[in-house]
Homo-oligomer: A and B are copies of this chain.
């Protein structure tokens, strides 16, 4: 795993996972700033609302990506997460939030979508191969999402190892890299980095239950983490709220 590295040549292609939230927007800004030609990938995976994908389109355009692909893959057929299963309530208090399994040895939030990052990185890997790209960036964060197994450095390293065995370019050169440049940043740090690179956070949608216009609820865990981030960054919160 490389947290932050420039392309071998300016303009080399890189695939960037872009959800439309503040983390992936900041990653896209970093990738652009490093000198890559970004190819943005979003997934319509059966999430509760589509406004984060609308946000992804706006952000992709703003940063002049070479191409933005939105891939359909409906994970709601499987259920198992508050983000894809409308029978599971979106939690609004990080401390009181129940795990999916009460006997969990580690606390894993109900907003965790089974294998989502693995699926998104796999699709990114397929696209990277057809582009002859060796660099994939995503906004995993081990600080805010410490309960998500697929947001940890060991996971990112394991995916990079897989990527070098799974692909033509990987077995030929060993050059496939999975970058998680904000994995150890606090939300306040992400906000500072994003702002310094021109990210307009009012255009990003983090809320788990935003409305169709992308207005945030202000109460879910994603909103709370974001509010705390702006507070600790000593920066006005530009999020657009429903009330």
Contact = CB atoms under 8 A, between A and B. Distances in A.
Interface of A: 69, 71-75, 77-80, 100-101, 104-106, 108, 112-119, 121-123, 125-127, 129-130, 149-150, 152, 154-155, 158-159, 161-162, 165-168, 170-172
Contacts of A127: 78, 114
A126 B122 contact: no
Given A74-B72, A168-B108, A118 B125 contact: yes
B162 A158 contact: yes
Given A72-B73, A74-B72, A168 B126 contact: no
Nearest to A155: B165
A165 B152 CA distance: 9
Candidate in A78, A123, A155, A166 with the most chain B CB atoms within 10 angstroms: A166
A119 B45 CA distance: 14
Contacts of A117: 166
Query: Interface majority SS on A: helix, strand, loop or mixed?
Result: helix
Given A104-B172, A162-B158, A166-B149, A126 B115 contact: yes
Contacts of A105: 172
Of the candidates A104, A105, A149, the one having the most CB atoms from chain B within 10 angstroms of its own CB is A149
Given A122-B118, A162-B155, A71 B77 contact: yes
A228 B116 CA distance: 40
Contacts of A122: 115, 118-119, 121-122
B130 A78 contact: yes
Contacts of A170: 149
Contacts of A159: 162, 166
A79 B130 contact: yes
A123 B149 CA distance: 16
A170 B105 CA distance: 11
Contact of A126 (B69, B101, B106, B119): B119
Given A114-B129, A159-B166, 20 more contacts: A72-B73, A78-B126, A80-B130, A100-B168, A104-B168, A112-B168, A114-B126, A114-B127, A114-B167, A115-B123, A115-B129, A115-B167, A118-B122, A118-B126, A119-B126, A149-B166, A150-B165, A150-B166, A155-B166, A159-B162
